[in-house]
Amino acid sequence: MSRSRFTRRLPATVAVVGLALAVAACGGGASSSSQETTGAAAELKPNADLTKQSLQVTVWDGYLPKELADRVKATLKVKDIKIQLHDTNETAMTKLTAPGDSGIDVAFVSGQYAQALNAMGLLEPIHPELIPNLANLYPEATQLSYDKGNKYSVPYTWGTTGICYRKDLVKKVPDSWNDILKPPAWAEKKVTMMTTERWLALPALKALGYSVNTDKDEEIEKARELLVEQKPHLLTYDDTTFGDRLINGEAVMVEAWDGWCPTTDPKGNIGFANPKEGSDLWVDTMVILKSSKNKEAAHALINYILSPEVHSWAAVNINYKVPNKAAMEQVKIPKGSLLGIAPDKLLDGESIIDLGQASTKYTRLSADIQAK
């Protein structure tokens, strides 16, 4: 069940620490009309000869089948396909925003990063006529606040954040973020929280009735005060091994991404709670770079990935839900798994969006909490 940094990648949405800095360094930031695609779309040929096109993809390790490149070459007949790996969104942003042509055609980044890249004019608008498998997506997958209508990104995986807990060790089933923000005596020093900026702040913001995307100084300060008050009562901050801590009994409640809550543990002792104050909706996406010279092949690749037999691989092998109805219908969901959370329930969560320069407020918040 090890889910350490080295055996399984962190959720893509973990890596938000440098977003504002990466965008600022490139002169970017959230545009005033973040739902509108920046720049004109290229004129693409639906029947282009893909044998003359090659592909370069950047993606997290373990996020695609190892044999995908060979299958794509055989199926799409592209001249070549090379898969590069990035460990965090920041690494991807460095590649994609560096001066000159990155050579990348398709990139996997989280939703708020796709929003930032689009605001910088770096993304090619999605051409739906070249991706007929978009029809496989749940209707809810077109309602993501950072890119309604999937104008410049295509969702690959999605999920939410909640409280993962030991059923046999809690005296009360958690149902509120306050259960971990103000842990009862029986949970003293047996609770963990994440340190990644937006997810460190999330429980406090939601408990206070604020938006996870707030940029108001007074609301962020109230959240900071709550987190400072909480800190002495925590076991630790943990973004990677909280599931293991639950299984071995070291922790009884932890802040967790749904896909990393080990609810399928054979002993059946692990539960997952959606706090009544609400939570987030995180999404990992596929985007096409405006600089790509292989845009028809890039669209064909995304279309191929959206086929049920390919896209279902992600749900089975990385335990993340995919926003693809046809793909999820092929998945045999294990007992206790959170893969069965319905799309409409996921959409109850608040999508995390790019805050531009305001993201630095969360950088300061995280640094301040950890320094206390």
The upper half-sphere exposure of residue 287, i.e. CA atoms within 13 Å in the direction of its Cβ, equals: 31
CB proximity list for 211: less than 8 A, separation 6 or greater: 205, 350
154 SS3 class? strand
How many Å apart are CA 67 and CA 152, to the nearest integer? 27
pLDDT at 16: 41
Query: Tell me: the pLDDT tens digits for 174-189?
Result: 999 999 999 999 999 9
Contact 233, 189 (CB under 8 A): yes
Q: What is the mean pLDDT of residues 277-285?
A: 96
pLDDT at residue 123 is higher than 70: yes
Q: Provide φ and ψ at 213, rounded to 5°.
A: -105, 15
39 pLDDT tier (thresholds 50, 70, 90): low
Give me the chain's average pLDDT, please: 90
Helix (H) or strand (E) holding 282: strand 280-288
Mean pLDDT of all residues in 302-314: 98
Name the percent of the chain in helix, strand, coil, to the closest 5.
40, 15, 45
Per the listing, tokens 């995986």 go with: 157
* β-sheet bridge partners, residue 84: 58
Alpha-carbon distance 364 to 339, whole Å? 34
By the 10 Å C-beta count (0-12 exposed, 13-18 middle, 19+ buried), 286 is classed as buried
Element (H, E) at 159: strand 154-159
Q: What is the pLDDT of residue 12?
A: 52
C-alpha torsion angle, residues 35, 41, 44, 46 (rounded to 10):
20
Burial of 233 (0-12, 13-18, 19+ CB in 10 A): middle
Q: Which residues pair with 155 in a beta bridge?
A: 285
Q: Record the tokens describing residue 317, joined without a space.
A: 């092998």
Average pLDDT over residues 132-154: 97
Q: How far apart are CA 34 and CA 248, in angstroms?
A: 44
Which residues lie below 8 Å from residue 127, measured CB to CB, with a gap of 6+?
Answer: 41, 44, 299
Evaluate if residue 212 carries a pLDDT over 90.
Answer: yes
Q: Around Cβ 270, how many Cβ atoms within 10 Å? A: 20
The DSSP annotation for 51-103 comes to: GG-EEEEEE-TTSS-TTHHHHHHHHH--SEEEEEE-SSHHHHHHHHHSSS---
Phi, psi angle pair for 16, to nearest 5°? -110, 0
Task: Tell me the C-alpha distance between 121 and 5, whole Å.
Answer: 32
> What is the 8-class DSSP label of residue 136?
G
Strands (E), 136-245: 154-159, 161-166, 191-193, 236-237
Determine the Cα–Cα distance for residues 18 and 372; give it in Å rounded to an integer: 21
Residue 6 has pLDDT above 60, yes or no: no
Span 239-273, pLDDT tens digits:
889 999 999 999 999 999 998 999 999 999 999 99
pLDDT above 60: residue 11: no
